[in-house]
């Protein structure tokens, strides 16, 4: 082969350039080429094992190998650039978490120079963001010297990952003007070419070490505009009309056009925020939302009816899975009336019985008719249905209202229903338990696989992209 007639030094250089994406294919080309690749196999396997699924860690007995922060990983990549190409899944959540136990590796000053300084000096992303690389690097250097988390380092690291598919950003992620500009440059380039972050399909935020901290959903919007992102897991996001900047896509030209799955966990959003989010995610199929307010939060009461109606209005034509539940509510539910019957393709539905109670309060429900208004909460397309409740606060009335005409209407309106789960916790009211047992029995009579859910965090249905 002409390839093997080249000088060995050149062949080795060519093989090195195939790492990691094409190395194994090249090695299997023929015996002679495989023989030349043998010397690289051990190192290839070592890098793949260590970096393909990456997360920061501290091992006191292997101090030289510890990678505890973005600056440590940047130093490692600067020393061997191919390392960045091995990273497919990155959990950066605990960036700098171990700094209280061990200082990070120091980075050289600009004047001393070195491979990491060259990374910043030659960065096309810093240039496109119109950022002075010396000022940017000096900020990183200062953060490392003071032993603190560096937003500058965490953001710059995202400019170096061409093959990453799953990204979990640091718990301490706090955007500033400089890193916002840099991230914009990364996203814009990713949407135009096969560059850093262009391969990301799953993006996740992470729970802050301070569980009382909340962030606006807006911080996630640049990542959601990546060209192939399909799944988003956002935690502890807050947003209401009282917080003007909280809208995820406010004044933004971007759109999450490829996003299909969103899990918004322990969040506190109002109808305006969820509507803005859904309006910019036209391909969304799965939405799981867990509402949570905290003591001292400026947002306490929640208008769940307006929230659900906003989801129906913005995503009723294309959602396939929907869960809206209440994890913790310090305030109260604002009265209203909700309808979910407008969903055209919904197959899996999970709602709290508080939503049914709202409809009870909004209607003269004692006079039941065959066109009972509570059937507005179960679209005829639904095959899996889950009701979440603590079994208190007269929620047996909600079960009675929702299923009063179930047996007579099943064949004509709910014949698609195959599985049903109802919360029935051990400490629920006895009258609620009795009503739950009756409803489940009647559902089973119709051939529905109906069970009671005894635990607060019990497994419900299989949700697409579940974290």
Cα separations in angstroms, 194 against 17, 31, 197, 217, 290: 17, 32, 8, 27, 35
Which of 157-161, 189-193, 409-413 bottoms out in mean pLDDT, i.e. has the lowest?
409-413
Q: What is the mean pLDDT of residues 224-251?
A: 80
pLDDT at residue 45 is higher than 90: no
Q: What is the mean pLDDT of residues 66-85?
A: 92
Domain identity same for 69 and 189: yes
Which of 252-256, 321-325, 410-414, 451-455 bottoms out in mean pLDDT, i.e. has the lowest?
410-414
Domain identity same for 65 and 188: yes
Range of the domain at 92: 53-200
Most confident segment among 96-110, 319-333, 374-388: 319-333
Looking at residue 371, its pLDDT comes to 46
Q: What is the mean pLDDT of residues 402-407?
A: 80
Q: What is the mean pLDDT of residues 236-240?
A: 78
pTM (predicted TM-score): 0.87
* Burial tier of 456 (Cβ tally within 10 Å: 0-12, 13-18, 19+): exposed
pLDDT at residue 379 is higher than 60: yes
Rounded to 5°, angle at Cα 456 from 233 and 204:
10
Percent of the chain residues topping a pLDDT of 90: 51
Looking at residue 19, its pLDDT comes to 61
pLDDT at residue 247 is higher than 60: yes
Measured in whole angstroms, the distance separating CA 252 from the mean position of its chain's CA atoms is 20
**Is residue 69 included in any domain, yes or no?**
yes
Domain identity same for 61 and 151: yes
Domain identity same for 305 and 328: yes
Which of 126-135, 174-183, 240-249, 342-351 bottoms out in mean pLDDT, i.e. has the lowest?
240-249
Per-residue pLDDT band at 342 (split at 50, 70, 90): confident
**Is residue 369 included in any domain, yes or no?**
yes
Q: What is the mean pLDDT of residues 145-163?
A: 95
pLDDT at residue 65 is higher than 80: no
Domain identity same for 214 and 327: yes
Looking at residue 204, its pLDDT comes to 92
The tally of domains found in the chain comes to 4
Domain identity same for 34 and 94: no
Q: What is the mean pLDDT of the chain?
A: 84
Looking at residue 13, its pLDDT comes to 61
Q: What is the mean pLDDT of residues 35-40?
A: 62
Looking at residue 370, its pLDDT comes to 39
Task: Identify whether the C-beta of residue 417 lies closer than 8 Å to the C-beta of residue 382.
Answer: yes
Give the integer Cα–Cα distance in Å for 106 and 328.
Answer: 43
**Is residue 370 included in any domain, yes or no?**
yes
Alpha helices in 165-324 (DSSP H): 177-190, 221-224, 271-279, 304-315
């Amino acid at each position: 082969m002409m390839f093997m007639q080249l000088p060995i030094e050149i062949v080795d250089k060519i093989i090195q350039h195939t790492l990691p994406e094409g190395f194994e294919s090249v090695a299997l080309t023929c015996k002679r080429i495989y023989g030349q690749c043998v010397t690289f196999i051990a190192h290839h396997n070592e890098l793949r094992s260590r970096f393909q699924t990456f997360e920061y860690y501290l091992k006191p007995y292997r101090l030289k190998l510890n990678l505890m922060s973005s600056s440590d990983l940047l130093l490692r990549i600067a020393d061997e650039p191919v390392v960045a190409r091995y990273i497919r899944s990155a959990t950066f959540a605990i960036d700098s978490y171990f700094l209280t136990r061990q200082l990070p590796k120091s980075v050289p000053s600009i004047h001393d120079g070195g491979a990491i300084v060259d990374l910043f000096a030659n960065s096309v992303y810093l240039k496109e963001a119109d950022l002075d690389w010396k000022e940017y690097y000096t900020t990183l250097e200062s953060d490392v010297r003071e032993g603190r988390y560096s937003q500058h380092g965490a953001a710059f690291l995202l400019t170096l990952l061409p093959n990453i598919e799953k990204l979990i950003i640091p718990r301490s992620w706090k955007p500033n003007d400089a890193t916002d500009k840099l991230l914009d440059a990364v996203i814009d380039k990713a949407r135009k070419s096969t560059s850093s972050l262009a391969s990301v399909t799953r993006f996740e935020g992470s729970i802050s070490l301070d569980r009382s901290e909340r962030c606006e959903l807006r911080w996630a919007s640049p990542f959601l505009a990546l060209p192939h992102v399909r799944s988003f897991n956002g935690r502890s996001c807050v947003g209401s009309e009282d917080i003007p900047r909280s809208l995820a896509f406010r004044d933004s030209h971007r759109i999450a056009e490829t996003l299909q799955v969103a899990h918004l966990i322990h969040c506190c959003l109002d109808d305006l925020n969820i509507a803005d989010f859904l309006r910019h995610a036209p391909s969304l199929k799965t939405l799981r939302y867990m509402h949570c307010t905290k003591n001292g939060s400026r947002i306490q009461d929640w208008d769940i009816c307006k929230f659900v109606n906003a989801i129906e209005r913005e995503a009723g034509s294309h959602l396939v899975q929907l869960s809206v539940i209440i994890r913790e509510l310090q305030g109260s539910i604002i009265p209203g009336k909700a309808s979910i019957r407008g969903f055209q393709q919904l197959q899996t539905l999970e709602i709290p019985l508080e939503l049914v109670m709202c409809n009870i309060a909004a209607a003269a429900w004692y006079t039941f008719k065959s066109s009972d208004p509570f059937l507005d909460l179960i679209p005829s397309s639904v095959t899996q249905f889950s009701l979440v409740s603590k079994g208190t606060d007269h929620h047996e009335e909600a079960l009675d209202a929702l299923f009063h005409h179930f047996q007579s209407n099943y064949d004509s309106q709910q014949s698609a229903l195959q599985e049903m789960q109802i919360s029935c916790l051990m400490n629920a009211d006895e009258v609620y338990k009795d009503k739950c047992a009756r409803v489940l029995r009647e559902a089973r009579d119709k051939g529905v696989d109906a069970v009671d859910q005894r635990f607060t965090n019990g497994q419900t249905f299989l949700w697409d992209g579940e974290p």
